[in-house]
Each structure stands twice: as C-alpha cells, then as structure tokens.
C-alpha cells in the first residue's frame, strides 16, 4: 500500500514509526507545511526512499491532488487539524484514492439556539457525499483514531457480542498524565481541543435524535482502570455521538472527557477573550487567526514526550441487558507514556491515536475490512481489529461494572 500522510506532526510521526516494520506499507509519503519537521521525522526513520518528504499546503486542494498523483498513492491519510478536512477529502475523491481521517469535517453551531439544536454537524459534509464515493467504489473511512475510532469499534463489539439491548453508550476519556516544566501544556493539538471543547456538545437519544447542550455540562465522576482512578468527566462535542447511532441501536449516546478544572478554566478564558476564534483578524495590517496565535504560544505536543509521565485511557462504557439481566461494561485501551516513548519515541497520546489508522490500513490492505462510501468504524466487523490490537502494542481491556 502506498499512503500519502498529510501532516507530519506528533500523530504523523507516530504513524510512520509504527509503519516502519510493516512490510505491506510499500511507501508512506510524509507531507507537511513545515518541511524541516517532515525531514526530522524522516531522519529518525532512516529510509528516504520508503518515507519521502514533501512540502504541502493543506489548504490548497490542488497541491494534495498533485502529490497523490506524483506518488500513485492508494490512500490519503489526513493527519492535520480538521479545518483542512474538506480539501483533503475532496482531493482523495478526485484522484480516485481511498481516504482516512481521525476527526471529521467541522460543525457549525445553530445561529439562534446553539445549546439545544444542532445546525451543521460533525461529518455532515462528508456523509452528504457518501453516495458519490460509493458509486466510484472508493472508501472514505472517517473518524478512525482512538476517540473516535477504537471507541467506536468497541461500541460495535458491545452490540454484536455483549448485549441483547443497549440502554446507553458513553465514551469516557481520562488520564493521569503530568507534564513537567510547564504551567500549562496540552498533550494534543490545542487547535482541535479548543474546537471540540468550546463547541456545543452533541447528545443522541432515541426519542429526540441529536440535540446539543452547554459546554462542560453534566459532570460525573468516572472510575478509570489501571491506576488512573476517579476523574470528573464532562460533555464535549465529539464524533462518536454522530457516528454510533448510524450503525448501532442504543437509546442514548454521549461523550465525556476528563479535562480538569485548570484546563476548563483556560478554555473559558480563551473564549471570553475571543482567542478561540479561528477566523483571521487584522493585527496592525497582518491577518492572523487568534487560535493560531494561541497554538504558536504553547509547546508543540510532539516534543513533550520526555517531559510526560502517566497513562491515558480511552474507552466505551455500555449499559444494557444480556439474557434478561442488566449489566454494564467498560471496554478500554490504556497507553503508558514511558512504554510509548521507549518503543516508538513518541508520547502516549499521539501514539494511542496513531496505531488505529495503521491497523485499519492493514485490514483494508489484506481484505479483512471492505467497503465503499463514507463509513465510520462501526460499519465493520470489530473482531479483526480487536484481535490485532495487542500485536500493534495497544491491547484492550474489558471491565465489568
């Protein structure tokens, strides 16, 4: 398989590191706006022919298409902030390549009632074009990281193997990661974090469909495994809530994230000051997006691994009935930062996100996952994926609750 990876940041690097021992990955092109960053990743990999680097401006669709054609790629892997998704998604369609991303096209809040009604939902742009992709025989596998991604695979497994009837599926994410030397340093893209945390969270209920609520609503204490412990989690906008109901029958679907008081306080302050704005404004004759300034002021998550310690947990809590008896389970994956740094030289959060698209590429390459159109992880048999998770260094666990 030949792959064009658009974005050589933390996740792009982790993806390439994990691809290196996989012989079925014939070539993986590392394209980034910061060419020096791409060259840095290439140097670590030590194989210029198999991992060529290219400059790319992901906002220019024609440039994505040009690189895809130059290398004759089978799949375009979108590993940049989702503001560029539409261009990369359309580029893949135009060059007859399969497509994969870890976050779907962006939402837009309802102009009059943002905390009750959705307007443009995550992935709407992509799902509206599903029939065109299907007619071409192309696959766009959207929302395939860890959350969304692995969590969605777990949801499908719960439906197929663990429950007769599902009351609620709740994605629950928490960590005890500590970053030394910084008063505030996000372990993932701050651009994406601002987007998902300050937008109105989406909830799905069988009787109501999709509806929205206020950011950081419905706090609850959730007990995470492997020593992470109890963490308060709150509602956050996330793709799983838009994906799961399309393929899985449940009465309610939610996503809650353990952000912590400090992180929530910073996000609220950014919102209050208008620094969350992603549209360029004029600053002394220069056009700049406030959110890009915030991102530039903070440390790059790709370089924080040696300063991090602890674990991060992504998982799917499911409540329902099996054989007439009520039950609850939590299917999860825990990544330890020290182990990820030792094995791949990448910090835990980006490594945990990166392994799943590579695993999915493996299944597609070897015919275990097949499909056409715009599909989420729930559309596929979960067993081949889960059977390979340990092989890829990220075993799953199941906890009865």
pTM of the model: 0.93
User: Can you give the pLDDT at residue 267?
Assistant: 87
* pLDDT for 263 beyond 90: no
* pLDDT for 388 beyond 80: yes
* Interval 37-66 mean pLDDT: 96
Q: What DSSP designation does 320 have?
A: E
Q: What DSSP designation does 241 have?
A: H
User: Can you give the pLDDT at residue 305?
Assistant: 84
Bridge partners of residue 78, in order along the sequence? 6, 101
- Range with the lowest mean pLDDT among 4-8, 212-216, 279-283? 279-283
More confident residue, 301 or 329: 329
- Averaged confidence pLDDT in the chain: 94
The distance from CA 275 to its chain's CA centroid, rounded to whole angstroms, is: 23
* Interval 191-195 mean pLDDT: 83
* pLDDT for 188 beyond 80: no
Compute the distance between CA of residue 143 and CA of residue 238 in angstroms, rounded to an integer.
Answer: 10
* pLDDT for 86 beyond 90: yes
Q: What percent of the chain has pLDDT over 70?
A: 100
**What are the structural domains, with CATH classification, of the chain?**
2-101 (3.40.50.720), 150-346+396-400 (3.30.360.10)
Q: What percent of the chain has pLDDT over 90?
A: 83
* pLDDT confidence bin for 306, thresholds 50/70/90: confident
Contact 177, 388 (CB under 8 A): no
* pLDDT confidence bin for 46, thresholds 50/70/90: very high
* pLDDT confidence bin for 120, thresholds 50/70/90: very high
* pLDDT for 302 beyond 80: no
Q: In this structure, what is the dihedral angle of CA atoms 390, 394, 398, 401, given to the nearest 10 degrees?
A: 170
* pLDDT confidence bin for 259, thresholds 50/70/90: confident
DSSP three-state, residue 254: strand
Find all residues with CB under 8 Å of 210, minimum gap 6, and list them: 118, 121, 202, 203, 204, 241, 242, 245
* Interval 274-291 mean pLDDT: 89
Cα dist. 27→22, 76, 155, 195 in Å?
10, 12, 32, 32
* pLDDT for 187 beyond 80: no
Cα dist. 62→55, 65, 68 in Å?
13, 5, 10
* pLDDT for 234 beyond 80: yes
User: Can you give the pLDDT at residue 190?
Assistant: 82
Bridge partners of residue 336, in order along the sequence? 311
Q: pLDDT by residue (tens digit) across 134-161? A: 999 999 999 999 999 999 999 999 999 9
More confident residue, 391 or 195: 391
Q: Which two tokens stand for residue 62?
A: 């024609």
């Amino acid at each position: 398989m030949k792959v064009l990876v658009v974005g050589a940041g933390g996740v792009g690097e982790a993806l390439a590191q994990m691809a290196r021992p996989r012989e079925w990955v014939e070539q993986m092109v590392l394209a980034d706006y910061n060419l020096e960053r791409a060259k840095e990743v290439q140097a670590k990999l030590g194989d210029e022919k198999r991992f060529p680097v290219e400059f790319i401006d992901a906002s220019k669709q024609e440039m994505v298409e040009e690189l895809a054609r130059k290398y004759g790629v089978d799949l375009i892997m979108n590993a940049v902030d989702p503001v560029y998704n539409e261009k990369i998604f359309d580029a893949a369609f135009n060059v007859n390549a399969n497509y994969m991303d870890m976050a779907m096209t962006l939402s837009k809040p309802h102009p009059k009632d943002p905390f009750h009604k959705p307007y443009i939902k995550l992935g709407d742009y992509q799902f509206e074009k599903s029939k065109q992709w299907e007619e071409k025989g192309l696959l766009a596998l959207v929302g395939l990281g860890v959350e969304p991604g692995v969590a969605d695979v777990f949801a499908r497994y719960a439906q197929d193997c663990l429950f007769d009837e599902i009351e609620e599926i709740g994605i629950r994410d928490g960590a005890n990661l500590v970053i030394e030397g910084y008063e505030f340093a996000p372990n993932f893209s701050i651009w994406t974090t601002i987007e998902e945390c300050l937008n109105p969270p989406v909830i799905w209920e069988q009787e109501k469909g999709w509806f929205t609520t206020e950011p950081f609503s419905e706090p609850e204490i959730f007990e995470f495994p492997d020593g992470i412990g109890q963490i308060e989690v709150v509602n956050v906008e996330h793709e799983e809530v838009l994906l799961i109901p399309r393929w899985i029958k449940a009465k309610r679907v939610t996503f809650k994230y353990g952000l912590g008081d400090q992180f929530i306080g910073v996000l609220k302050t950014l919102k209050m000051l208008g620094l969350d704005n992603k549209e360029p404004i004029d600053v002394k004759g220069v056009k700049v997006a406030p959110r890009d300034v915030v991102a530039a002021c903070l440390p790059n998550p790709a370089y924080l691994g040696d300063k991090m310690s602890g674990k991060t947990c992504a998982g799917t809590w499911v409540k329902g009935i099996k054989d007439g008896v009520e039950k609850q389970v939590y299917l999860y994956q825990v990544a330890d930062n020290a182990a990820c740094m030792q094995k791949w030289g990448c910090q835990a959060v980006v490594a945990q996100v990166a392994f799943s698209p590579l695993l999915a590429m493996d299944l597609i390459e070897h015919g275990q996952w097949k499909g056409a159109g715009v599909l989420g992880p729930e559309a596929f048999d979960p067993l081949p994926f889960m059977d390979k998770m340990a092989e890829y260094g990220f075993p799953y666990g199941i906890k009865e609750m």
